[in-house]
Amino acid sequence: MKNPIILKLCEEAFTKAEALCGKKSDNGRATFLEDELRRSQVSISGKSLIAYKNGKSSPGKEVLDGLAKFLDCESYKMYHEKNKTQEISEEAQTKKRSSIVLWILIIALGFLLTYSILTPKAKECLVWNGNGYQVEMCSGTSLEIPYKEELLDFKQMFPCSGFTFYDVDGQPILWYDKSNGDVSFFNLLGRHPVNKKTLKPITDTIIEKYVPDCNSLTEKSNNHS
């Protein structure tokens, strides 16, 4: 039995029977109901009443009317109309509450989206640390440049004569800048991080003139130690 109004009718009848007879068990209440219905010329067993209450079978019209009268209702039809109206009202209230909750969620979501759009986000910048770029939160200083992921691989190099300056195709793999007599080397093409001049590809002339001999660097290191 799937009809919720019939289930409610049976449940209310059992509840009233408990109040009248003082028995809490299904068998006790069903026996009391059986006697009450018999007085109304309705013949039904307590076992069947329990089955109706548990939704395992459906009562006929005579039993429905008898249960309705036991609940002080003229007939099951009247009981049905009364509870159907109440059910529709409860359903409407449930839908109304759901609509209110939905609108609250929509408004809250709209507020969060507006807040996230209008609130300035902290931006990341790159700052040269002498050997490479490091990521910092933008503060507006002149040393900062806009964040570019590819610049994280941009490094200053300190080659000596044993360094490999060209790839297998003879293309340079180092770039340099010469300013005020000083030459600095970098591993990628780009701009000098300080003076912003465009770097040039390394040449044999630059290597011979400005790249130190590895042995001399080793000797200097040993002397300092």
Q: Is the pLDDT of residue 87 over 70?
A: no
Q: Distance (Å, rounded) from C-alpha 152 to C-alpha 135?
A: 8
Task: Kindly report the backbone phi and psi dihedral angles of residue 138, in degrees, each rounded to the nearest multiple of 5, phi listed first.
Answer: -60, 135
State residue 97's pLDDT score. 78
Query: How does pLDDT run across 162-180, given as a tens digit for each residue?
Result: 899 999 999 999 999 999 8
Across 9-13, 68-72, 140-144, least confident range: 140-144
State residue 1's pLDDT score. 46
State residue 92's pLDDT score. 56
Question: What is the model's pTM?
Answer: 0.45
* Average pLDDT of the residues in 56-85: 89
* Average pLDDT of the residues in 73-87: 83
- Rg (the chain; Cα; Å): 45
Q: Band of the pLDDT at 111, cuts 50, 70, 90? A: confident
State residue 121's pLDDT score. 61
Query: How does pLDDT run across 10-60, given as a tens digit for each residue?
Result: 999 999 999 999 999 999 999 999 999 998 889 999 999 999 989 888 899
- What is the DSSP annotation of the chain? ---HHHHHHHHHHHHHHHHHH---SHHHHHHHHHHHHHHTT----HHHHHHHHTTSS---HHHHHHHHHHTT-S-HHHHHHHHHHHHHHHHHHHHHHHHHHHHHHHHHHHHHHHHHHHSPPPPEEEEE-SSBEEEEE----TTEEE--GGGGG-BEE---TTS--B-TTS-B--EEEEETTEEEEESSSSB-TTT-PBPEE--HHHHHHHSPPHHHHHHHHHHH-
State residue 84's pLDDT score. 78
Q: Between 162 and 221, where is the model more confident? A: 162
> Residue 99: is it exposed, middle or buried by C-beta count within 10 angstroms (0-12/13-18/19+)?
exposed
State residue 96's pLDDT score. 72
State residue 220's pLDDT score. 56
Domain-wise residue ranges, the chain:
1-119, 125-224
Q: Band of the pLDDT at 86, cuts 50, 70, 90? A: low
* Average pLDDT of the residues in 208-216: 89
Q: How high is the mean pLDDT of the chain? A: 87
State residue 26's pLDDT score. 93
Proportion of the chain above pLDDT 70, given as a percent = 88
Query: How does pLDDT run across 176-194, given as a tens digit for each residue?
Result: 999 988 999 999 999 999 9
